[in-house]
Amino acid sequence: MSLTEYRRKRQFTKTREPEPGKRLPQGRRAIFVVQLHHASRRHYDFRLQIGDALKSWAVPKGPSYDPNVKRMAVEVEDHPVDYAEFEGEIPKGHYGGGHVAQFDHGVWATPYDPEEQLAKGHLKFELFGDKLKGGWHLVRSGKPARQPQWLLFKDKDEYAGTLEADDLLADVTPPPEEDAKRAGRGKAKRKRETEVPVQSATRHRDWAKLAMKLPGARKAAAPTEFFAPQLAKLGDAPPEGDQWVHEIKWDGYRIVATVARGKAKLWSRNALDWTDKVPEITGAIEALGLKSAALDGELIAGSGTRDDFNLLQATLSGERQGTLSYALFDLLHVDGVDISKAPLIERKTLLEQILGHGTRHLSYSSHAVGDGEQAFELAGQQDFEGIISKRADRAYHSGRGDDWRKTKALHSDEYAVVGWTAPKGSRSGFGSLLLATPDKRHGWAYVGRVGSGFSDTLIKDISKRLGRAGSKEPTVYVPENDTDLRSAKWFEPRFVVEVNFRGIGGQGLLRQPSLKSIRDDKRIEDLSDSDRGSGTKPTKAAAKKTASKTSASKTATKKAVKSATKTARTPPKLSSPTKVLYPDDGYTKLDVANYYAAVRDHLLPEIAGRPLSIIRCPAGTDKPCFFQKHHTPGLELVEFVRLKEEAGNNANYLVVNDDAALMELVQFNALEFHPWGSHADDPDRADRIVFDLDPGPDVPFDEVKRAAVDVRKRLIELELESFLRTTGGKGLHVVVPLNPGCDWSLVKPFAQSFAEVMSQAEPDRFLSVSTKRLRNKRIFVDYLRNGRGATAVASYSLRARPRAPVSMPLAWSELSKLKRGDAFTIADVPARLKRRRKDPWAGIEKIKQNLSKFSAE
């Protein structure tokens, strides 16, 4: 999303509105804000953060809680995220002149890709504010208008009612009298309030009376502080017998909750207050209508499987907008009655009654009685991390014990990072992390090193944590002489990581470890109470059994591991294959998928490892398409790199590294691929320059071809070799490889100067500015593709245009016969590639040239 229009309409020396470019806060969730604006006419400004901007609508009458009332919402220009904090007067005579007041703010979520929903014309989302709560809809109107018009209306949920935005103004700063007279005051149907009442989502029953019937129940004061949760020990196989119940092991964050006087508080496992971090969970617990309670469960995203853990982390950090829920598996107190001493099965029965059929953000974690092996196998088939087995007849007690046991499908555990090895080959930062676990005899014992499972972003983040300090002498007990550790750097246990592995090998070292995640929610001290038991290492017999279990072809463990491996590298199944994406030509989604499968060996070298933007057309090229550069919910095979943007914030950019990731984007209706001119692991260093020859109206294509030849000649004079491709549109690209690369601070001025020289030499033929009114019968030498964050269409990419044209690399000798810039299409390129004897761009990556000799000019 661009803030160009926002900049154009404002003079920042004369208004207090924020200018784009301010560094955004890190690690917070996506926000929404509603502002009451007394401009020429009174209206509400409704804004949702998507990526690095606030998508904005003007809603004249404000949101209504009545699902039958649909309010017009006029789409306006995007605003910077820090506009959410703006309040005050915009000077008269300036755009939007008048008073702006804060009405409501909070976080928001959607289970689907927000940009794709907007492109389709229906965004379904939830708001978690003080005034605006629950589900909402934005639906694009079909009426023609100068600015796109949408309808904003409430979902039919537990918050639906008759309240209007104007009923909720008690704590909103009133405008100056002059603004109120000019713009209007609004109309309230009732006494103005400060927040919408919380409606109970549960049946009103005497829970205290039911609780007192449980064995061991006693009256007690409402809990108000954190309580340490009960923990499970890791086992090799589920325990046997009907005295055990087996639950899904959710892959999320452990959360305990208390309710006192109807108000909920949430804590992480290490006693951090999460009440405000997950307002949807806090609100859902309060909506149960309990006077007091103590609850235990797991915070999850999506379905709570292993693949959903990354979505959970990304949602909590604001990188994505997933839907969060709280899977509850225990109840320790309810309405003044302590039931922690009652048998687990009785506590769970009462919990299930209180939850009823569950709510949007609360769910009951059910269980199976006995037959743990079957439960474990089923969990693995459904891609859960494993199961938790609990004694059905036991009380709840904090800490780890034998009453709760966990069995993992793919083994994972948490370890302290105690050092690092130097990188090898093209890798930067470090080669692997050295891991240790608490040990009774030695304090800490080395368990191996992990060198896989790291994204480029993680490598950079962890490298900062590691620094360059460290000792050559191990700080922990090392059970075997590993020659690769001779150059390692060691330090005291510093932070916690979770690692997947395939069993325990000789000397207690991990087999085939790979990083799962950095566990900032865990402390080094927590590892002294690991799920294997305090300070104990697995015996040789247990290690042998674990290794055997992992490799046995008929076990549920191997099924889960095999399934997970297959999922990680196999393209997703293509949905809606008959959907027509090119309506003028009849090409379907299957045709697009078949095309990219045919050209992937040629396309991947052009885009792999580079930050990538795509153009997606969910409803076909005749409907709104949209430009996407950020990683979003639902993408499981496409990786990302965290990069700093112009506004100063960091965002997750798409990165494709293999054909499975490519085809996942095709499944998401991606038609065009536009890579950066640099790689994700070195984004500030360009290795490509692209001159886009963009003809104005009435410019014959022969003139475009002549311009390409002229560009090539000028580059040869500068001792720079160049390559040619069609754009799939009206123009041509002249591409200059750089090896080794150059900083963007050199590349962009060079490209601009080159374009200006051509424009000055032949002003009747060339332009170096993008002004459209000046382009008639001239060619714009577009150098703007050559800046950090700028993109150009990739070779072999389709274009979202009639005939499904392709951006096609050519030899310079082929230029004379070329008839048009969109000469090659989806229908003929695969066959052309089969006939082609030589790639016209062969060896482009081996050419040694750069701009260093121009740096002093």
SS3 473: coil
Query: DSSP secondary-structure letter at 81?
Result: G
Q: Which amino acid is at 484?
A: D
Contact 538, 546 (CB under 8 A): yes
DSSP-derived secondary structure letter, 273: B
pLDDT, residue 554, reads 28
Residue 194 confidence class, pLDDT cut points 50, 70, 90:
low
Please give the average per-residue pLDDT across 49-74, as a whole number: 94
Distance (Å, whole) CA 319 – CA 316:
8
Residue with tokens 């405000």: 276
Contact criterion met (CB below 8 Å) for 252 and 268: no
pLDDT band at 815 (very low <50, low <70, confident <90, very high): very high
830 burial type by CB count under 10 A (0-12 exposed, 13-18 middle, 19+ buried): middle
Rank 54-68, 232-246, 295-309, 565-579 by mean pLDDT and report only the highest: 54-68
Q: Which residues contact 420 (CB under 8 A, 6 or more apart)?
A: 430, 431, 432, 433, 434, 466, 470, 488, 489
Distance between CA atoms of 856 and 853, rounded to whole angstroms?
Answer: 7
- What residues contact 547, with CB distance under 8 A and at least 6 apart? 502, 503, 504, 505, 511
Alpha helix segments (H runs only) across 305-356: 309-316, 344-355
Determine the Cα–Cα distance for residues 125 and 544; give it in Å rounded to an integer.
Answer: 50
Residue type, 301: A
Q: What's the pTM? A: 0.60
**Residue-level pLDDT at 535:** 36
pLDDT band at 197 (very low <50, low <70, confident <90, very high): low
Mean pLDDT of the chain: 87
One-letter-per-residue 3-state SS of 705-773: HHHHHHHHHHHHHCCCCCEEEECCCCCEEEEEEEEEEEEHHHHHHHHHHHHHHHHHHCCCCEECCCCHH
Q: How far is CA 722 from CA 58, 229, 704, 812, in A?
A: 49, 64, 16, 9
Mean pLDDT, range 292-317, rounded to an integer = 88
Q: Are strands 367-369 and 230-234 parallel, antiparallel or unpaired?
A: unpaired
Complete DSSP assignment for 408-434 = ESS-EEEEEEEEEE---TT--S-SEEE
CB 335 within 8 A of CB 292: yes
Contacts 24+ apart (CB under 8 A), 429-436: 429/459, 429/460, 429/462, 429/463, 429/466, 430/459, 430/462, 430/463, 430/466, 433/462, 433/497, 433/515, 434/485, 434/488, 434/490, 435/497, 435/499, 435/510, 435/513, 436/476, 436/493
Q: What contacts 269, CB < 8 A, 6 or more positions away? A: 229, 253, 254, 255, 256, 521, 522, 526
d(CA 616, CA 613): 10
pLDDT tens per residue across span 525-539: 888 766 654 333 333
Residue 219: is it exposed, middle or buried by C-beta count within 10 angstroms (0-12/13-18/19+)?
Answer: exposed
CB neighbours of residue 784 within 10 Å: 15
- Spot the catalytic one: 131, 133, 154, 249: 249
CA–CA separation, 485 vs 475, rounded Å? Answer: 13
Least confident span in 185-199, 487-501, 559-573: 559-573
Q: Has residue 75 got a pLDDT over 60?
A: yes
Residue 21's pLDDT is 75
How much is the pLDDT for 69? Answer: 96
- Higher-confidence residue: 26 or 238? 238
Amino acid at 214: L
pLDDT in the model for residue 505: 64
Asked whether the beta carbons of 806 and 797 are under 8 A apart, the reply is yes
Give the lowest-confidence range in 102-106, 418-422, 636-640: 636-640
d(CA 427, CA 573): 33
Q: Report the percent of the chain where pLDDT is more than 90.
A: 60
Cis peptide before 423 (omega within 30 of 0): no
Residue 614 has pLDDT above 50, yes or no: yes
Please check the confidence at residue 54 and state whether its pLDDT lies above 90: yes
> Does 581 score more than 80 pLDDT?
yes
Q: Are the CB atoms for 251 and 300 separated by under 8 Å?
A: yes
pLDDT-derived band of residue 636, with 50, 70 and 90 as boundaries?
A: confident
Contact (Cβ atoms closer than 8 angstroms) between residue 759 and residue 691: no
Give the orientation angle of helix 659-667 with respect to helix 589-607, to 10 degrees: 140
- Rounded percentage of the chain residues whose pLDDT exceeds 70: 90
- pLDDT at residue 24 in the model: 64
Dist CA 419 CA 290 (whole Å): 49
Domains contained in the chain, CATH given: 4-183 (no CATH), 207-407 (3.30.470.30), 412-537 (2.40.50.140), 580-851 (3.90.920.10)
**Confidence (pLDDT) at 200:** 53
Confidence of residue 270 (pLDDT cuts 50, 70, 90): confident
Residue 838 has pLDDT above 80, yes or no: yes
Given pLDDT bands bounded at 50, 70 and 90, which one contains residue 482?
A: low
Q: What's the confidence (pLDDT) of residue 185?
A: 86
The predicted-structure confidence for 158-184, as pLDDT tens digits, reads as follows 889 999 999 999 999 999 999 999 888
Q: How confident is the model at residue 453 (pLDDT cuts 50, 70, 90)?
A: confident
Look at 86-95, 266-275, 358-367, 405-414 and tell me which has the smallest mean pLDDT. Answer: 405-414
CA distances from 98 to 66, 176, 188, 636, 740 (A): 29, 9, 21, 46, 54
| Number of residues that this document lists for the chain | 857
Q: For residue 791, give the H/E element and its range.
A: none
Task: Please compute Rg for the chain using Cα positions.
Answer: 30
Cα 137–Cα 143–Cα 148 angle in degrees, nearest 5: 60
Is the pLDDT reported for residue 589 higher than 90?
yes
Measured CA to CA, the distance from residue 672 to residue 807 in angstroms comes to 10
614, 599, 603, 607: which is closest to 667 by C-alpha? 614
> At 556, is the pLDDT very low, low, confident or very high (cuts 50, 70, 90)?
very low
E-assigned strand segments in 81-229: 88-90, 98-109, 122-129, 133-140, 149-154, 218-219
* Side chain identity at residue 212, one-letter code: M
* pLDDT reading at 797 higher than 90: yes
pLDDT of residue 422: 86
* Alpha carbon 223 to chain centroid, angstroms: 36
What is the spatial distance between Cα 194 and Cα 103, in angstroms, rounded to a whole number? Answer: 10
Q: In the 8-state DSSP scheme, what is residue 59? A: E
Where residue 695 falls among pLDDT bands split at 50, 70, 90?
Answer: very high
AA identity, residue 25: P
Span 622-649, mean pLDDT? 80
The verdict on whether 249 is a catalytic residue reads yes
pLDDT computed for residue 557 by the predictor: 25
Neighbours of 507 (CB within 10 A): 16
Nearest to 301 by CA among 285, 320, 279: 320
The number of CA neighbours under 13 Å toward the Cβ of 347 is 30
Q: Which tokens hold the place of 296?
A: 């235990």
* Average pLDDT of span 254-268: 96
pLDDT digits (tens, 9 = 90+) for 305-350: 877 887 888 888 887 788 899 999 999 999 999 999 999 999 999 9
3-class DSSP state of 606: helix
Binned at pLDDT 50, 70 and 90, residue 573 comes out as confident
| Cα–Cα distance measured from residue 59 to residue 186, given in angstroms and rounded to the nearest whole number | 13
Q: Determine the number of helices (DSSP H) and then strands (DSSP E) in the chain.
A: 16, 41
SS3 13: coil
SS (H, E, C) 367-395: EEECCHHHHHHHHHHCCCCEEEEEECCCC
The pLDDT score that the predictor gives to residue 113 is 85
Residues 661-681: tens digit of each pLDDT: 999 999 999 999 999 999 988
Per-residue pLDDT tens for 723-759?
999 999 999 999 999 998 999 999 999 999 999 999 9
Is the pLDDT reported for residue 568 higher than 60? no
Q: Are 75 and 69 in contact (CB under 8 A)?
A: no
Query: Cα-Cα-Cα-Cα dihedral of 198, 204, 208, 211, to 10°?
Result: -110
Q: What is the 3-state secondary structure (H, E, C) of 621-641?
A: CCCCCEEECECCCCCCCCEEE
Among the residues of 30-176, which ranges form H helices? 114-120
Mean of pLDDT values over 98-123? 91
Strand partners, 750: none
pLDDT of res. 721: 96
